[in-house]
Amino acid sequence: MSKIEAITVENLKKYFTPSKHGGKAKKGKINTKETIIKAVDNISFKVKKGEIFGFLGPNGAGKTTTIRMLTGVLKPSKGTTSIFGLDVWKNPIPVKQIIGNVPEEANVYLELSGLQNLTFIGELYEIPKTDRLERAKVLLKKFELYENRNMKSIKYSRGMKQRLLLCMALMSNPEILFLDEPTSGLDPKSAKEFLDQLQRLREQGKAILMTTHDIFRAKLIADRVGIMKQGRLVAVRKKQDFKHADLEEIYMHEMQAAETV
């Protein structure tokens, strides 16, 4: 029997049919091909335990839409997303228990302190009180937020909020992490520390799917990169393919090549 991968995406499609009527197609109206947005257009890939998969691609390529289908937020138009063999759309509860997610436009609970944000998440996951407090403190120390743990997070800087979001995603000790542009807004030192923490999580066997526009950092951290354009996965490259090559050149080449497909 073939090994079950942490993340499996098979023939995944998401088509949007926008209209003037609240983003949904008007009842009875047949959408012409021109009105359909093929946000994700038949993509397939897998991510293993202990692997960091970097998701690259220009604005509007379909990266966030793919993550939304992997985290049970959006229903695929066609195809499937699975987590350890479980269909995400059909098994929302068990799937949510094994994934951590930092969405593109996530926010912390601003009226709560850093510590309260984490213990609140711990409560949602029904982690016993003493364990949740202990776990929250460990995470706050790891991400250098411990000193400010009792400050309302509305007073946190953007980078501090970003680190708190990752702590929130890690409260349930998830096997799989989805991060949508997690280093945007982080200063270089914080970004480096953030990525160092991701490497440690990889060493613990977590599977990580991370979108980024930062090719330099993707090259440093990813075991494989997938390049999306116009809803399609136009290339997947292993570390050995881009370790000694210019990943930016590979990216630009794929962008041009994709235009001719």
Ligand X SMILES: Nc1ncnc2c1ncn2[C@@H]1O[C@H](COP(=O)(O)OP(=O)(O)OP(=O)(O)O)[C@@H](O)[C@H]1O
The span of 41-49, 53-61, 164-172, 218-226 binding ligand X (CB under 6 A) equals 53-61
Closer residue to ligand X, CB minimum distance, 197 or 230: 230
Closer residue to ligand X, CB minimum distance, 85 or 185: 185
Residue 57 touching ligand X (CB under 6 A)? yes
Residue 39 touching ligand X (CB under 6 A)? yes
Residue 183 touching ligand X (CB under 6 A)? no
Can you say whether residue 172 is alpha, beta or left, with left for phi > 0 and alpha for psi between -120 and 50 degrees?
Answer: alpha
Distance, C-alpha 239 to centroid of its chain = 19
Q: Which residue in the block uniquely carries the two structure tokens 């691609």?
A: 57
* DSSP secondary structure code for residue 80 in this structure: E
- Closest distance between ligand X and the C-beta of residue 2, in Å? 29
Distance CA(202)–CA(176), nearest Å, equals 10
Residue 125 touching ligand X (CB under 6 A)? no
Residue 62 touching ligand X (CB under 6 A)? yes
Q: Choose, by CB under 6 A, the member of 15, 25, 31, 37 that binds ligand X.
A: 37
Instruction: Report CA dihedral (131, 175, 12, 38) to the nearest 10 degrees.
Output: 60
Residue 8 touching ligand X (CB under 6 A)? no
- Closest distance between ligand X and the C-beta of residue 54, in Å? 13
Residue 64 touching Mg ion (CB under 5 A)? yes
Q: What angle do CA 82, 88, 93 make, to 5 degrees?
A: 130
Pick from 149, 144, 153: which is nearest to 187 by CA?
144
* Residues near ligand X, by CB under 6 A: 16, 18, 23, 37, 39, 57, 59-65
